[in-house]
Structures are given as C-alpha cells and as structure tokens.
Structure 1
Amino acid sequence: MLSEIAGITRVRMLYLQLLYRCNFSCKTCFHGQLLKDPAHYTLQEAQSLLAHFREHYRLDAVTLLGGEPLLYPHIVEISQYAKKLGLKVEICTNAHPGYRRTIEELAPTLDKMRVSLDGLEASHDLIRQRGSFRGALQMLTLARLNGVDIGATMVVTSRNLQEVVPLAQLLEGYGVRELKLHCLRLVGNALDNPDLAVTDTTAYAHLHRQIADADLTIQILYDSDLSPEPPGQACPNLVSGGWLDRIESDPAGGLTVSCKAVGRDVHAFRWDKTAARILYEPRENDEFQLGIPDVVYQTA
C-alpha cells in the first residue's frame, strides 16, 4: 500500500509506539492527554506489524517507544522477535531505576538503549520528575555493563539550551557515544508550557559554536531545525527514490511518515490490527496534503 500510493518501496527504521502509558508526564511530551489513553499493541499485533515491514519494505531496524516502552508487558518478547527477524533493535526510555531487571533481560537483544535527558539535573528533573536524572544515569551504567551500546536524546528548550555541551561532557564519562538533539514542537504537553520554546532562534548559532569549541568525543546529532542556517528545500512527498528513512506507528495503528507530523493526528496511512495490513485513509488535512516535511538530522 505504501508503494502504490506514496512510492515507498523500502523503510529503514520503524518507530514503534507500543503503548501511550507512561510513569512520567513530561512538560515536553508530544502525547499530552493521550498518556491516559489505553490504546496499545498486543504482542501478536506488534509481531505482525514488524513481519509485514520486514517482508514488504525490507525493514532494517526498529526503535521501541511509548509512552514508556519498559512498561509494555511483552517488551522482552517483542525485542527477541525483532532480532529473530534480523532487525537492529533500539529502545528510547526514561530509564527509571525501577526497570533495572527489565533492562537486564532486554540486554542480549538490544543494539542500543537511548535515554531521554533534558539538560543537567535541575533542568531535567523540573521537566520530568524529582530524582529522575540520577536514576537515568544509573541505568545508563547498568546497560553499558550489560554490553549495550548507549545513547541519549535531548529536547532543546529555552531552559536547557546552555546545558547541551555540559551534558555532553558529562555523558562522555558514562561511555555514551551519541547525543541526539531535538527541536521542541508545541504539541501535547508542550502546548501548556510555551515558555520552554526557544523564541530567539539566533541562539542556535551560539550553541553550534559551543559544540565546535568543546572538542567533544561524543557524536552530536541535531534536528536541522536547530541549525542557525535557513532550512533547506523540503521534499514534497517526504520520500527520496522510494527510500523512506523512518516511519512511526502510534498505539492505535496510525502510521506517520514525517516526524514533524507525529502527535498531530494527520496520518494518511493506518495499520489495521485485525486484518494485519496497511490501509490508506486520505484526509484534507493529512500530512501529504499539508506537505509536512520530515525532520532532517545532521552531525555537528
């Protein structure tokens, strides 16, 4: 269906939101009120989705997401299944210490554990919850000791903009190889916290100078919307030569092609969990009709 309608013949990465439920309610979370939604993938539904993308779109990798994916009761089984399909398996988590045993069980099938960190301790805990920063660092150490490649992701806000380099330097000491920087999008909980938005985007130029001058060994990847340079020309169909870098499935089955469209309920494709197939359900305001460009990541 993706190939017939959108010309997509291959997908590198599936971002699989297994459930909305989370033990946090972060001020930057794009899910917002959906964190209370019970929608989720059953194990069989998730397996069918992975098998379909592997068979029909030569899927290379899956990133397990939520909500909080470590709350998913079958997280170990779905990771094992993905490895049996030959996929690279990543997970993005808030890494609460209560998941210690689950992380240890997941370790043999995980290629990377990426932990969400929103600045240094005070900034992070304000956005998430008290004590969550130190807990996340403990779980980074646990994953590394269990042989898992570790990375971090950070939503850049007005509060933590000056903490990118200090956080990167701290993470180097924990063996983190990559820090991925995201631009804050005013969706979900972020709509209730507009003060976190960076209104003076010229500040990004200073951020890039700080990164360049810091002589970091950790790799910094950043959403190009954080660049001081003007945005490049957007690909109108979000696809280049039939190759799609990533697609995201929400717990209700919605398939979103552009990361900038995630959380906005503008998907044109949906995974039918019952029939185990992709449906095309175009709307006047879907991501293709609106021409929403995808996020482009660059190396600092």
Structure 2
Amino acid sequence: MIADITGIRRIRMLYLQLLYRCNFTCLHCFHGERLQYSDAFTAGEAVSLLTLMRDEYGTESVTLLGGEPFVYRELPQVVRHAKRELGLRVEICTNGYRIERHLAGIAPHLDLLRVSLEGVGSANDGIRKRGSYQSALSALSLARDLGVPAGATMTVTSQNIGEVLALASILGQLGVQQLKLHHLRPVGNAADHPELLVTDTTAYGRLREELAQTRLPLEVIVDEDLSEHGAPEVCAPSGGLREIDRIEADPRGALTMSCKAVGKDSHAFWYEKTANRIVHRPSATDEFTLPVPDVVYARV
C-alpha cells in the first residue's frame, strides 16, 4: 500500500512503539496523556508487522521502544524472533531504569542498547525521575560487561544544554559508542513545559562549536534543528523517492514517516493488526498532505 501511494519500495528501519505504558512521566515526553493509554502490540502482532515490513519493504532493522519497552512482558519473545527468525538488526531504546535482569536475558540477541539521558545527575533526574541517572549508568555498565554495544540519546532543553559535553565524557568512559542529540518538540508533556524550550537559538550555535572543538570519546550525532536557523526544509517523502530510512508505528498501529510528525496525529498510513495489512487513510492534516519536513542529522 505504501508503495502504491508514494512509490517508496524500501524502508530500512522500523521504529516499533510496543506500548504507551511507562514507569516514567518525563517532562518532555511526546506521548503526553497517552502514557496512560492501554494500547499495545501483542507479541504476535509485533512479529507479523516485522515480517510484513521485511518481506514487502526490505526492512533490515528494528528499534523497539515505547513507552518503556522493558515493562513490556513479551519483549524477550519479540527480540528473539526478530533476530533469530527474521534476521533483523535489533535495537532497544530505553530509560534504563532497573533493567539489569531483563537485559541479561536478551543480550545475545541485541545489537544496540540505547539509553535516554537528559544530563548529569540532578539535571537528568529533574526531567526524568529521581534515581534514574544512576540506574541508567548501571544499565550501560552492564551492557558493556555483556558485550552489548551501547548508545545514548539526549533531548536538548534550556535546562540541560550546558550538560552535553560533560555527559558525553562520562558516557565515553562507560564504553558508549554514540550520543544522539534531539531538538525538543513542543508536543505531549513538552507542550505543558514551555520553560524547557531553548528560546536563545544562538545557544545551539555555541553548542555545535563546542562539540566541534572538543575531542570527545564517542561519536555525536546532532539533529540539524539544533542550529540557529533550523534544519533545511527537507519535505516528507513524495512520489519520486523510492527508499527512506525509517517508519514509526505507534501502539495503535498508526504509521509515521517524518520524525517531526510523531506525536501530532498526522498519520496517512495505518497497520491494521487483525488483518495484518497496511492501509491508507488520508486526511487534510496528514504528513503527506501538509507535507511535514523531516529531520536531518549530521555527525560531529
């Protein structure tokens, strides 16, 4: 269906939100009130979507996230099937809170553990949850000991923009290979916390200069919106594009291609779980009709 409407025939990665439920209520979470929703994939539905994406769109990699994927009881089944039966590259994006026992069980089938952090110590805990910083470091330490490659993500806000270099240094000491920096988008919980927005856009330029001038122990990937003038206007996929990097499925089955459309209910395609098919449901505000600019990343 996606190929018929857009011409896109290959989608390299599926971001699969297994559930909305989370053990955190982060101030900047794009899910907002949906953290209380019960929508979720069953293991069978998740495997069916993964199989469909691999067979029809050549998908070779999956990132499992939520909500919090480690509170999803069927996570081991999904991880093992994705790796063993489908041959996919498997990544999990997590808050890293008390996941050690579960991580040890799936480590042989995991290609990357990516932990979300928002700074060092209290800077992180103030946005996420008390004790979450030390718990995240513990998870990253265990990943290193288990031989699981690790990365981290950070959403840049007014409260943590000065923490990037310090966090990168600490993560490097733990063997973390990559830090990915995101621009804060005012949707979900972030819409209720405008104080987190970086209103001085020149601060992004200073951050990028510091990153360029500092010898860091890990790779840093920067959302190009973290610049004084924002990212180039790269539009959502059109009929002339045959391949894209990613698509994201939320727990209801709604599919989104642009990072900037996530959390905005601008879905043009849906995965119907019971029928195991993707359908087109166009609207006046979907990401293709608008169209929604995508996010561009650059390596420092």
Answer whether TM exceeds 0.5 for this pair: yes
SS state at 2:186 partner: coil
Query: Structure 2 CA distance, aligned partners of 1:230 and 1:26?
Result: 25
> In the TM superposition, what is the alpha-carbon distance from 1:229 to its structure 2 partner?
5.2
* 1:177 corresponding residue in structure 2: 177
Q: Is the 8 A contact 2:27 2:190 kept in 1?
A: yes
After superposition, the C-alpha distances for 1:121-143 in whole angstroms (9 at most, x for unaligned) are 11100001111101100010011
Query: Structure 1 CA distance, aligned partners of 2:81 and 2:210?
Result: 42
Matched, 1:13 2:13: yes
> In the TM superposition, what is the alpha-carbon distance from 1:235 to its structure 2 partner?
2.9
Q: Residues 252 and 230 of structure 1: is their aligned pair in 2 closer, same or farther, counting only changes over 3 Å?
A: closer
Matched, 1:190 2:190: yes
Query: Structure 1 CA distance, aligned partners of 2:124 and 2:54?
Result: 36
Q: Is the 8 A contact 2:6 2:238 kept in 1?
A: no
Matched, 1:161 2:161: yes
Q: Residues 238 and 201 of structure 1: is their aligned pair in 2 closer, same or farther, counting only changes over 3 Å?
A: farther
Q: Is the 8 A contact 1:238 1:294 kept in 2?
A: no
* 2:56 corresponding residue in structure 1: 56
Identity of aligned residues (%): 51
- The one-letter amino acid of 2:271's match is W
> In the TM superposition, what is the alpha-carbon distance from 1:230 to its structure 2 partner?
5.1
Q: Is the 8 A contact 1:238 1:258 kept in 2?
A: no
Q: Is the 8 A contact 1:28 1:189 kept in 2?
A: yes
Matched, 1:89 2:96: no
Q: Residues 132 and 239 of structure 1: is their aligned pair in 2 closer, same or farther, counting only changes over 3 Å?
A: farther
Query: Structure 1 CA distance, aligned partners of 2:293 and 2:239?
Result: 10
* 2:234 corresponding residue in structure 1: 234
Query: Structure 1 CA distance, aligned partners of 2:240 and 2:118?
Result: 32
Q: Is the 8 A contact 1:238 1:293 kept in 2?
A: no
After superposition, the C-alpha distances for 1:103-155 in whole angstroms (9 at most, x for unaligned) are 00110110000000001111100001111101100010011111100000000
Q: Is the 8 A contact 1:29 1:190 kept in 2?
A: yes
Query: Structure 1 CA distance, aligned partners of 2:32 and 2:204?
Result: 26
- Of 216-225 and 237-246, deviating more is 237-246
Paired positions, count: 299
Q: Is the 8 A contact 2:168 2:217 kept in 1?
A: no
- The one-letter amino acid of 1:89's match is V
> In the TM superposition, what is the alpha-carbon distance from 1:239 to its structure 2 partner?
7.5
**Equivalent residues in 2 for 1:66-77 (5 A)?**
66-77=66-77
> In the TM superposition, what is the alpha-carbon distance from 1:249 to its structure 2 partner?
0.1
Q: Is the 8 A contact 2:115 2:153 kept in 1?
A: yes
* 1:119 corresponding residue in structure 2: 119
Runs ≥4 residues deviating over 6 A: none
- The one-letter amino acid of 1:218's match is L
TM-score, normalised to structure 2, is 0.97
Structure 1's unaligned 5+ residue stretches are none
* 1:288 corresponding residue in structure 2: 288
Query: Structure 2 CA distance, aligned partners of 1:94 and 1:51?
Result: 27
